[in-house]
Amino acid sequence: MRIDFRINGIDQSLQLSGDEMLVNVIRERLELRGTKIGCGNGECGACTVHVDGEAVCSCLYPAHRVAGRSVTTIEGLAPATALSPVQAAFVRHGAVQCGFCTGGMIMSASALLAQNAKPSEAEISHALAGNICRCTGYRQIINAVLDASGQGNADSERP
């Protein structure tokens, strides 16, 4: 089947087989490698992207469902020469270690902030519950999201 959709602001038209998952189309066909394949079954969140602004696990999302829709990957979150507020906050707070989960974490956090500009720590934790990080212990990530929402403080930043 042929589908037309928009990814990172660019119109695409692709011929798909009915069983292709969005993560494979993004990584292999469109060569956008910031979206990671971690577990492949929706448990880790490394493959999180936005479909019409909603955070979804692209490893579980049939590619044909993006027909007529808009997809944003980590590469499209900000212009190539800048960082989004969430990306910049992740850098400031050392919320990145090995980096494998980072794209998915940032995409989930960005979707949360688009819906709730001033989330509580509990709301942040809930929004990120589908994203697994093996390195940071999550405190830096929560601090980064609070900072990106304008609620952070200098005491929570890394030296």
Domain ranges of the chain: 2-76, 85-156
Separation between Cα atoms, residue 143 and residue 159, nearest integer Å: 14
Q: How does pLDDT run across 68-117, given as a tens digit for each residue?
A: 999 999 999 999 999 999 999 999 999 998 999 999 999 999 999 999 99
Nearest CA among 155, 152, 48, 144 for reference residue 96: 144
pLDDT of residue 142: 96
CATH topology of 2-76 equal to that of 85-156? no
3-class SS of residue 15: strand
pLDDT of residue 53: 97
Q: Which two tokens stand for residue 70?
A: 């808009």
pLDDT of residue 153: 56
Please check the confidence at residue 144 and state whether its pLDDT lies above 90.
yes
Q: pTM value? A: 0.93
Q: Cα torsion for 37, 38, 39, 41, to the nearest 10°?
A: -40
What confidence category does residue 152 fall into, taking pLDDT thresholds of 50, 70 and 90?
A: confident
Q: How does pLDDT run across 20-50, given as a tens digit for each residue?
A: 999 999 999 999 999 999 999 999 999 999 9
Nearest CA among 85, 97, 80, 67 for reference residue 145: 85
Q: In sequence order, which residues have a C-beta less than 8 Å from that of residue 131 and are 6 or more positions away? A: 44, 45, 46, 48, 101, 104, 105, 108
- Superfamily name with CATH number, domain 85-156: [2Fe-2S]-binding domain (1.10.150.120)
Please state which CATH number belongs to domain 2-76.
Answer: 3.10.20.30
